Structure 1
């Protein structure tokens, strides 16, 4: 009777040995179109091999089973060969066959292999630079490995707020931008629970604020964006029976759902990181998943969720240790101000003017940020604040001093902002009630007067119609 096997997607972190968790999680049961199965007994047999309990008399099985469910007798092989076979069968290489051909008297099979690497960024503890290591074993003092360069480039992309996109960053000998500063410090100040969202990389920590459900919620949100773009719909309108109902896709264990392709593809996007990346790579620049302003709005939401949780219970909201910056008022304000700076940078540093739909998205994001800050006019006791301003996010960004918060950026998008006039008027009334510097209040009032001009709305409507017409014409030409 064959030994039962289970797909990787059915395994949980608790079920796996530490050596197999990372590879199984990243693959999630999908291997470039090839079924990936493994034997539970194989895991057990290799676990016996790798977990040295000091008993040298334990006998390893003379017969092993492969992922294809074939059994092999290996007791006649040298010990080194037996160990190699057990390793391959217990943790199979993630190989996908790409093509095969006959060349004269030779059959050639071409394959690619997905290899898991582990990059570690460790604090030095003595004031020197972070210690950067990679499990690949390549690179050295004079040459950082490609995995470090790849990862640190993405860290810089997500954590740098104050830089000019038109000015090249300075690459250090260690393989990262000098402007990033110390990599460990950059991550700890940004916080891993916020960074993980933008890197599409879940935090594997049951004590983290992000938690598995919240991280997966971000993947659900972005999967909805990908699927809605296929139908030319807004994400908020796409399949409310799936996303806005109590029967969340997160509770499903099966990937295949009969008679519902949308739901099946959604489960595939949630289940497999490589498939998600592939789907995203073929999406259009104007799709919601690639909307830079929408992504910044989601980052602010993430920051505020962490901030709100910390404000309600500072003692319980620690991701890993005291090494990370506490998500207090100055921390949240730094992220929010950074996002508004990026919006301004996206507007000014483009090779072409914003399309009307892009301007609308930018204005919507700014108004969302402004509204979120105004709604947080309450003192929070985080223990680290030294002034009342540092206890209150609204005072820090708006109520205490005039920094042109969000107003300066909205003035760059008058036509798009005019579509949200009623929302801005409501925010203006709230600010009048809560209090703000007179100069800020007057600038806001001037912005509203400008947006009330009828020409603004008519101009934006005409631009949107022209953009849609151009896009339809482009599709026909293709």
Structure 2
């Protein structure tokens, strides 16, 4: 073998994959920056996010490794790029610190709705994907109160006297998912005496240890210790509820709609929400119709991407979860045919979420994705028929109405329900909530 061949064998790959399974092209970076990225991705630091907040015009993320670090993403103004700093003091002009690379990779994972797994992202010299755009702008358009859920990182308000329930509700929900998986139960059925009772809320009381109740004790540990939560999640199974991507997207849509509904009922919500510490109307995108629609459309895109880009076909439980999420999203949008006074919309469509996504033009909203999952969707036939009736009453483009009608006809085929029932019965039965089709 020639020396030239040996040199080629020693060349490092130009594309690297991050722990969050995003691919980056780095061959255009200086060698120091390439080495830094490879080092972080090959041996990722053991980091747990503690909290995040908005301080004036700066997003701050606090994380722990062996010591607590604080990453700050500051808006520079005048069209300049964000200022990225970390309290660790490491890194430099050609080599961003590991905390910045780690955090910005996770920001990209949460905010990029159009990411194609087959096309690597382009790593910038500052340690984040070029496709992310300006990090501060990406967060402000996504909104920190939505982003924090995906990062498993509560938003804190230092002015609050005690912990805000909504602030911690996502961590409580995910802890319930982790614990229920140990028993092979659905999260909704696990320990209602703890999670569905205000009197015994895990957020109440200072004691972590509860005698004769290991579930409650472990729950309090999951809520109180970020590293323990991350460790518990890291050993969970791929098909556990907390790792179900479709369930997570459904929860994201619910979060978006809660914020949207609160803003719709009181536009001042955008500037007085308890999950931020300063006036945000001029910093974060207001939670109006276009903002909510962008998130909802992004979630349906991700569902379609999950279906098409898997290395293996979806398991029956996965198709069931995907269909359940799509029907939930569709029903939620159809139920929001109300005009919202946002003060900035220029057309009625921008005042009405239903009109924006369904009523004004045909974009195959949710129907295209449901057509990819006919067997699983057939288990929701009655719900879809009710939604179809609502759309007929509210009005929609004729082409969309006909596509929906065609989908229902396809789902009424008897073989659909029977086939999926046989498949689901072969699994562990975690989500056997569906009625058999008649």
Instruction: State the TM-score, normalized to the length of structure 2.
Output: 0.80
Shift of 1:266: 0.8
Shift of 1:78: 46
Q: CA 1:458–1:140 in 2, change beyond 3 Å: closer, same or farther?
A: same
| 2:52 pairs with 1:52 | no
In structure 1, the residue matched to 2:14 is 62
Q: CA 1:345–1:64 in 2, change beyond 3 Å: closer, same or farther?
A: closer
Q: CA 1:50–1:295 in 2, change beyond 3 Å: closer, same or farther?
A: farther
Counterparts of 1:453-472 in structure 2, within 5 Å, are: 453-468=413-428
Aligned equivalents of 1:393 and 1:104: distance in 2?
30
Counterparts of 1:195-344 in structure 2, within 5 Å, are: 195-205=147-157, 212-245=164-197, 246-314=199-267, 320-344=280-304
Aligned equivalents of 2:238 and 2:206: distance in 1?
32
Q: Say if 2:25 and 2:121, in contact at 8 Å, map to a contact too.
A: no
Q: Say if 1:373 and 1:393, in contact at 8 Å, map to a contact too.
A: yes
Deviation readout 1:21-45 (Å, 9 max, x if unpaired) = xxxxxxxxxxxxxxxxxxxxxxxxx
Q: CA 1:110–1:199 in 2, change beyond 3 Å: closer, same or farther?
A: closer
Shift of 1:320: 3.5
Shift of 1:416: 0.3
Aligned equivalents of 1:448 and 1:320: distance in 2?
44
Match of 2:432, SS state, is helix
Deviation readout 1:219-251 (Å, 9 max, x if unpaired) = 111111000000000001111111111421111
Q: Say if 1:307 and 1:328, in contact at 8 Å, map to a contact too.
A: yes
Shift of 1:285: 0.3
Q: Which moved more, 1:307-316 or 1:459-468?
A: 307-316
Shift of 1:373: 0.5
Shift of 1:95: 15
Match of 2:434, SS state, is helix
Q: CA 1:175–1:448 in 2, change beyond 3 Å: closer, same or farther?
A: same
Q: CA 1:85–1:393 in 2, change beyond 3 Å: closer, same or farther?
A: closer
Aligned equivalents of 1:121 and 1:188: distance in 2?
11
Aligned equivalents of 1:432 and 1:71: distance in 2?
44
Q: Say if 2:36 and 2:98, in contact at 8 Å, map to a contact too.
A: no
Aligned equivalents of 1:286 and 1:64: distance in 2?
26
- 5+ residue gaps in structure 2? 268-274
Match of 1:330, SS state, is helix
Deviation readout 1:385-421 (Å, 9 max, x if unpaired) = 0000000000000000000000000000000000111
Instruction: Specify which structure has the bigger relative contact order, considering alpha-carbon pairs within 8 angstroms and separated by 6 or more residues.
Output: 2
Aligned equivalents of 1:304 and 1:109: distance in 2?
24
Aligned equivalents of 1:100 and 1:379: distance in 2?
33
Deviation readout 1:316-341 (Å, 9 max, x if unpaired) = 99863511111100000000000000
Q: CA 1:300–1:56 in 2, change beyond 3 Å: closer, same or farther?
A: closer
Q: CA 1:333–1:475 in 2, change beyond 3 Å: closer, same or farther?
A: closer
Q: CA 1:352–1:50 in 2, change beyond 3 Å: closer, same or farther?
A: closer
Deviation readout 1:271-309 (Å, 9 max, x if unpaired) = 111111111000000000000000000000000011111
Q: CA 1:66–1:371 in 2, change beyond 3 Å: closer, same or farther?
A: closer
Aligned equivalents of 2:333 and 2:204: distance in 1?
33
Deviation readout 1:153-189 (Å, 9 max, x if unpaired) = 0000000001201211110111000000010110000
Q: CA 1:137–1:414 in 2, change beyond 3 Å: closer, same or farther?
A: same
Shift of 1:215: 2.1
Aligned equivalents of 1:399 and 1:167: distance in 2?
34
Q: Which moved more, 1:195-204 or 1:148-157?
A: 195-204
Q: CA 1:366–1:100 in 2, change beyond 3 Å: closer, same or farther?
A: closer
Aligned equivalents of 1:98 and 1:202: distance in 2?
7
Match of 1:61, SS state, is coil
Q: Say if 1:119 and 1:147, in contact at 8 Å, map to a contact too.
A: yes
Q: CA 1:212–1:79 in 2, change beyond 3 Å: closer, same or farther?
A: farther
Q: CA 1:211–1:170 in 2, change beyond 3 Å: closer, same or farther?
A: farther
Q: Say if 1:303 and 1:332, in contact at 8 Å, map to a contact too.
A: yes
Q: CA 1:405–1:269 in 2, change beyond 3 Å: closer, same or farther?
A: same
Q: CA 1:265–1:317 in 2, change beyond 3 Å: closer, same or farther?
A: closer
Instruction: State the TM-score, normalized to the length of structure 1.
Output: 0.73
Q: Say if 1:194 and 1:303, in contact at 8 Å, map to a contact too.
A: yes
Aligned equivalents of 2:209 and 2:373: distance in 1?
45
Deviation readout 1:244-272 (Å, 9 max, x if unpaired) = 11421111221011111111111111111
Q: Say if 2:61 and 2:71, in contact at 8 Å, map to a contact too.
A: no
Q: Say if 1:123 and 1:131, in contact at 8 Å, map to a contact too.
A: yes
Q: Say if 2:63 and 2:69, in contact at 8 Å, map to a contact too.
A: no
Q: Say if 2:71 and 2:100, in contact at 8 Å, map to a contact too.
A: yes
Q: Which moved more, 1:196-205 or 1:107-116?
A: 107-116
Shift of 1:200: 1.2
Q: Say if 2:374 and 2:410, in contact at 8 Å, map to a contact too.
A: yes
Q: CA 1:96–1:453 in 2, change beyond 3 Å: closer, same or farther?
A: closer
